[in-house]
Structure 1
Amino acid sequence: MSNIENKPSETPSAVSEQPSPAPPKSSSRWLLSGLTVAVIILAILIYTGIRERANAETTLGTSTERAAIPTVNVVVPATGTAAQEIVLPGNTQAFNETPIYARTNGYLKQWHVDIGAKVNRGQLLAEIDTPEIDQQLEQARADLKNAQANERLAEITSTRWQDLLKTNSVSKQETDQAIQDLSARQASVDSMTANVHRLEQLQSFEKVYAPFSGVITARNTDIGALINAGAGGVPQELFHMASINRLRVYVAVPEVDSQAAQTGAKAALTLDEFPGETFEGTIVRNSDSIDSASRTLNVEVDVNNPQDRIKTGAYVFVHLTRPHGANNYTQSLTIPANTLLFRSEGLRVGVVRDERAELVPIKIGRDFGSTVEVVAGLKPTDHIIVNPSDSLISGTRVQISAPQAGGLK
């Protein structure tokens, strides 16, 4: 049994003394290939990272450089005949308008019309009670009768003395005195007659009549009011009336547009009260003189108002048409007012040419408010910068956002 127990200890020692087998060559190749691939992948990753960083830096530089270039909005000048219309403000006035005063003193007895009443020429407006005038007229008529009686007596006496003179019954001197007395009596009658007519005329002023057909726009008196015709005081206006079936509109036309105010030409009128509606007027006259203070020409436009739709004193817009070629320029353009640059060297606009801004001097014609007429300095194809910066100078690089062609009307 001892031999059997020692055998197992000999077997492991025999096994351990045998040499271990060498690793296979294929495993080394695979390991080398894996390392090579890993190095290549790492190199690719490093190259890719470097390239992306370089591209990012290039893109950032380009974006920064592009962001430094200002972006501008541009507009193309408008051409056509729309700029030939001139719109000017004006106020309507009655064709005939007058205050109505009393021509005699007294107290208002009765008024027959009030504000808004349409009256015809010769219609009775009011009555004035004038007791003093009535009494003076009665006395004047009595004096006239007395003077006429004295005249008849003087005439009889003169005739008698002339007949007696033919028979030398009276002297020539006494006859001449009788004739001269008749002349004096006749002059007295004429004087008395004139005084009666004067008082009758004053008495006729007790009734106030409309001088023309129109509408009563004001009543400034009432029954029992003391009426002063202006003798020793300020006269009181009884009524104010206006003829509104035809209206006048006075327009101050700028000197540069004075050729649009041709007598006899038609003029369209628009009111905010009647949106979308146009009234036709006619230029009837002008002052033919430029106001040295405002440099404008005063022009009268008359418009028919048979239905009394337009009120006197209304604010209207008068549309005048300027003749073609009136400014002696072959072509004019229209640009927005927010494209103008006011510089010390003169008026300028910014024009984009070859991706750079250029300040171009211009000459303007008429100012339409939101737009202006340019008569020199621009071409119809120019791209003009809208709302240019005050610091804009020629040669500055700019980029256009989007041209607004046809943006003007």
Structure 2
Amino acid sequence: MAALAAAFPREETSVQVLRIPVRRTLIAAALALSLLAACSKDAPPPEDVRPVRALTLAAGGVQDSAEFSGDVRPRYESRLGFRVGGKISARKVDVGTSVKRGTVLMQLDPQDLRLGQAQAQANLRAAQTNAELARAELKRYQDLRSQNFVSQAVLDQKVAAAHSSQASAEAARALLREQANQTGYASLVSDVDGVVTGIDAEVGQVVQAGTPVVRVARTDEKEVVIGVPEDQVEQLRHMGQVKVRLWADPDRSIPGTIREVSPVADPATRTYTVKVSIPPSEDVRLGMTAVVELVRQAGAAAGTQLRAPLSALVQNQGGSAVWVIDKANDVQQVRLQPVQVAGVTGNDVLLSGGVRPGQTIVTAGVNLLKNGQKVKILTADVARRADAELEAAGGGARK
């Protein structure tokens, strides 16, 4: 028993000896796990660098210009009609036919007019016969008066009768000429060189004198007709240069001159009609679509104005501002800069203060920026490639 009792204490001692290394091992494992946890923390996210499009403001005179769409029209267009009434018997031209002065356009049935001319001829012959008889009788009475066989009063009556007969004959002759003209009016002829732009009556239709039946436009003088809003009419007085471009040939610029500005606005469009004269040209045909560019060179007061796209403006606290790109140590950052807007011309805005020539401003992506944000300016090739990708994506979505 003593030996057994002596054995138990030795076993307890050995267990205690074994517990010490185990504790050390657990502590070391806990430290290792804590170190691993510290090392496995997420790395900070990369700083956001946003790509933008930019424009460097350039100095120099600013041209204020505006473009308006219109069409080419003839300066002179006549609505022709017969000078007598009747039934249309023939039409000699169609819309688009080129005509010369004296070309027959339409004809009336001349039967009634010819009958009227024949009647006038008969009346003239009767009047001439009466006039000859009155002259012969006057001569006889003059001989009788010389022999004192008749009184002077009777001779005076014969003189008056002869003069009246002669006047009747002259009136009948004039009536015949008038009736001959009426017969000639049965043919409607063009009085200018031009082109037929409209037909308002057809064969078989009975028309009154003066009713328009054919429209003929002169081709020697043309003009472009545009509509100008009421807030820009006054600016037309200060335009120094007018350019006209045709939709069929946009690379060609034709000089123009403002010929007429309507004093009254169109009741439908509420715009003022402006007519711009252009030089004669066979390439410019009636009805072509044209764009009129009105250019005004800014004066000395406006020489400090800078032009920027409308997309560059940002509304900030009730005012306008732009994002200016500052570069320091190869880092490009943006800052919001208030500006003064002097006006709008086309798709551009004129800036009169807040920025200076040589500064670079953001022109696209302005609503996604914040002060101090780093940006990267897209080059022209990258921008075109991005536009192409967006267009392709949009086309695929539409399909």
SS where residue 105 of structure 2 aligns? strand
Query: 2-side partners of 1:52 and 1:191: how far apart?
Result: 125
2:106 counterpart residue number: 126
Segment of structure 1 superposing worse, 286-295 or 163-172: 286-295
**Structure 1 pair 85–344 and aligned structure 2 pair: CA distance change class (3 A):** same
SS where residue 278 of structure 1 aligns? strand
- 1:347-386 residue pairs with structure 2 within 5 A? 348-352=320-324, 357-358=335-336, 360-368=338-346, 370-380=347-357, 381=359, 383-384=361-362, 386=364
- 1:76-95 residue pairs with structure 2 within 5 A? 76=55, 78-79=57-58, 83=63, 86-95=66-75
1:148 counterpart residue number: 128
Query: 1-side partners of 2:304 and 2:78: how far apart?
Result: 49
**Structure 1 pair 207–146 and aligned structure 2 pair: CA distance change class (3 A):** same
1:16 counterpart residue number: none
2:54 counterpart residue number: 75
1:331 aligns with 2:307: no
Larger Cα-atom Rg: 1
Please tell me the residue identity of whatever aligns with 2:105. Answer: L
SS where residue 136 of structure 2 aligns? helix
Please tell me the residue identity of whatever aligns with 2:216. Answer: M
**Structure 1 pair 183–378 and aligned structure 2 pair: CA distance change class (3 A):** farther
Q: Is contact 1:284-1:302 (8 Å) kept?
A: no
**Aligned with 1:226 (options 205, 212, 224):** 205
Offset at 1:181? 2.4
1:242 aligns with 2:217: yes
1:170 aligns with 2:146: no
RMSD value, Cα: 4.4
Offset at 1:205? 1.1
SS where residue 76 of structure 2 aligns? strand
Segment of structure 1 superposing worse, 184-193 or 354-363: 354-363
Q: Is contact 1:339-1:388 (8 Å) kept?
A: yes
Could you give the per-residue CA deviations for residues 274-300 of structure 1, whole angstroms, max 9, x where no partner exists? Answer: 4x5415343263449696996868242
1:278 counterpart residue number: 252
- 1:97-136 residue pairs with structure 2 within 5 A? 97-136=77-116
Query: 1-side partners of 2:264 and 2:337: how far apart?
Result: 35
2:375 counterpart residue number: 401
Offset at 1:85? 5.3
**Structure 1 pair 290–229 and aligned structure 2 pair: CA distance change class (3 A):** closer
Paired residue total: 350
Structure 2 gap ranges (5+): 1-19, 327-332, 384-399
**Structure 1 pair 298–38 and aligned structure 2 pair: CA distance change class (3 A):** same
Query: 1-side partners of 2:361 and 2:137: how far apart?
Result: 109
Please tell me the residue identity of whatever aligns with 2:376. Answer: A
Query: 2-side partners of 1:101 and 1:283: how far apart?
Result: 32
Offset at 1:50? 4.0
SS where residue 250 of structure 1 aligns? strand
Q: Is contact 2:96-2:197 (8 Å) kept?
A: yes
**Structure 1 pair 330–219 and aligned structure 2 pair: CA distance change class (3 A):** closer
**Structure 1 pair 404–356 and aligned structure 2 pair: CA distance change class (3 A):** closer
SS where residue 215 of structure 1 aligns? strand
Please tell me the residue identity of whatever aligns with 2:311. Answer: N
**Structure 1 pair 248–353 and aligned structure 2 pair: CA distance change class (3 A):** closer
Offset at 1:210? 1.9
Query: 2-side partners of 1:41 and 1:333: how far apart?
Result: 70
Query: 2-side partners of 1:344 and 1:142: how far apart?
Result: 96
1:3 counterpart residue number: none
2:194 counterpart residue number: 214
1:195 counterpart residue number: 175
**Structure 1 pair 77–156 and aligned structure 2 pair: CA distance change class (3 A):** farther
Query: 1-side partners of 2:294 and 2:360: how far apart?
Result: 30
Query: 2-side partners of 1:267 and 1:101: how far apart?
Result: 37
Could you give the per-residue CA deviations for residues 175-218 of structure 1, whole angstroms, max 9, x where no partner exists? Answer: 33223323332332232222212211110012222222223334
Segment of structure 1 superposing worse, 310-319 or 197-206: 310-319
SS where residue 115 of structure 2 aligns? helix
**Structure 1 pair 148–242 and aligned structure 2 pair: CA distance change class (3 A):** same
Query: 1-side partners of 2:150 and 2:78: how far apart?
Result: 66
Query: 1-side partners of 2:245 and 2:277: how far apart?
Result: 9
Offset at 1:384? 4.5
2:291 counterpart residue number: 317
2:313 counterpart residue number: 340
1:258 aligns with 2:236: yes
**Structure 1 pair 159–287 and aligned structure 2 pair: CA distance change class (3 A):** farther
Please tell me the residue identity of whatever aligns with 2:323. Answer: V
Q: Is contact 1:83-1:334 (8 Å) kept?
A: no
Could you give the per-residue CA deviations for residues 294-343 of structure 1, whole angstroms, max 9, x where no partner exists? Answer: 6868242224232xx443222111244433x3484113322222233568
Could you give the per-residue CA deviations for residues 88-129 of structure 1, whole angstroms, max 9, x where no partner exists? Answer: 312101243223322233333333333333222112233322
2:164 counterpart residue number: 184
Offset at 1:350? 3.5
Please tell me the residue identity of whatever aligns with 1:313. Answer: G
Q: Percent identity?
A: 17
2:397 counterpart residue number: none
Q: Is contact 1:162-1:175 (8 Å) kept?
A: yes
Query: 2-side partners of 1:401 and 1:353: how far apart?
Result: 8
SS where residue 99 of structure 1 aligns? strand
Please tell me the residue identity of whatever aligns with 1:373. Answer: L
1:205 counterpart residue number: 185
1:4 counterpart residue number: none
